[in-house]
Structure 1
C-alpha cells in the first residue's frame, strides 16, 4: 500500500488493527492520528483537534487520520469546510467501521474505499433509475417500522446506490440526505424521511 495522496474514506473491520497495519506505510514524522481515547466514536472535540492540526503549516505532505467506529453528525459538519478546502499539503484519511456513519455531504467530497474483508453488505433492492410512485410507496411501507439504526443504514445504502447508478444530485439534494440522518438520530419516524428522499430521486430522474 502506498500513502494516499488525496483525502479518503476507508471502511475497515477494526479501527485499531487497520490503523496499526496502515501506519507502517506512512512517514511517522508527518502523520497524525486523531482518535477518542475514551469512546469508540469520533466527536466534536476530535473534529476541533483535527482542524487545529490541519492549520499547523508544513512543507511536506502531512497525513491526518480521523478514526472512529462511528462519527457523530455534528463532528462531521464541523469538518466539512476543511475537508472541502484542506490547507496546503494536508491529506485527511477517515477510518470508520460503518459507511452509513458518514454523511452524504462528506462522502461526495472524498475518495471511498471499502477495505472490509467480510462479505459486502447486500445492495438495496430498488431500481432508482426506474423508480415510480407505486414502488416508492411499497418500499416506504415495507420499511416504516424499522429501527433508528436500520433507517440510518438504509439512507447510507441509498447514497451508495445513487453513486452506483450514476444519479447526479446537486448540493441542496445531497444536503437533504445529511439532514435525514440528523433527523433519524433525533428519533424522527423513518417513513416520511424515506418518502421525501425517494421523491427527491424520482423528481430528479423525471427532469
Structure 2
C-alpha cells in the first residue's frame, strides 16, 4: 500500500503504528509520540518536533507518524499549516483511537480511514470459583507475550466469566478491572497488567 498524508482511527494505536512501520522503508520513518511512561497524549512539544522534522529536506518520501490517544488543542493548531502545505516528500500519518481526539480543522484537511475492527468475544478458560496460583501461573505463562489488544480482550473475557459464574466482586475488585483496561491504553507491559489483576483476584478467593 502506498501511503499519502492521512488520519487513521484505530482500536490499538501502538499495534497499528508497529504494523504500518513494517510496510514502510525503515530509514524513512519518524514516529513522534509521548514517550513518557504511562502517557499517550500528543502535546505542543511533539508538534514542534514534527514541524522541525518536516522541514528537514529529504530526497525521497519521509513518513512522519504522529500518534496519540488525545491531541492537545495547542498541538493541533500548531500543525495546521504544515498539514495543509506539507514540504516536498513529506507524508504525515496521524494515528488515534477516536475522531473526537481531533479538531474539525485538522480532520477536514486529510482523508480519514477507520481501521477499527469489531472484536470477537472469547470465553476465559479460568475458573474463578476455584482460582489458585497454579492456574494463574499456567495462564500467565501461556500469555507471556500477549499484545495490548489481546490483553484487553482477555480482561473483558475474565469479567464476563466472573459474571457468568455469579461471583460478586467488591468495588475495589471492579476498580482493578477498570484500572487494568486503562493501563492497556498506556505504555504498561500487558503481561504485568494481567499478573497484577490475577494475583489480586486469587488472594480474594
TM range (shorter): 0.5 to 0.7
4+ residue segments displaced more than 3 Å: none
Match of 1:3 in 2: 2
Matched, 1:40 2:33: no
Cα distance, 1:80 vs structure 2: 0.3
* Matched positions, count: 117
Other-structure match for 1:124: none
Partner of 1:54: 54
C-alpha RMSD of the superposition = 1.0
> Could you tell me how far apart the structure 2 residues matched to 1:67 and 1:100 are?
14
Cα distance in 2 for residues equivalent to 1:48 and 1:42: 11
> What is the distance in 2 between the residues matched to 1:118 and 1:66?
24
- The answer as to whether partners of 1:43 and 1:71 remain within 8 angstroms in 2 is yes
TM-score (norm 2): 0.56
SS at match of 1:64: strand
- Match of 2:88, SS state, is coil
Specify every segment of 5 or more residues in structure 2 that has no aligned partner in the other structure, as ranges: 120-205
Structure 1 Cα separation of the partners of residues 107 and 89 of structure 2: 21
Q: Counterpart in 1 of 2:18?
A: 20
Question: Residue 94 of structure 2: SS of its match in structure 1?
Answer: strand
Question: Which runs of 5 or more residues in structure 1 are unaligned?
Answer: 120-207
Which entry has the higher C-alpha Rg, 1 or 2? 2
Which residue number corresponds to residue 84 of structure 1?
A: 84
CA drift at 1:118: 2.6
Q: Are the counterparts in 2 of residues 3 and 25 from structure 1 also a CA contact under 8 Å?
A: no
Aligned partner of 1:107 in structure 2 is: 107
TM-score (norm 1): 0.55
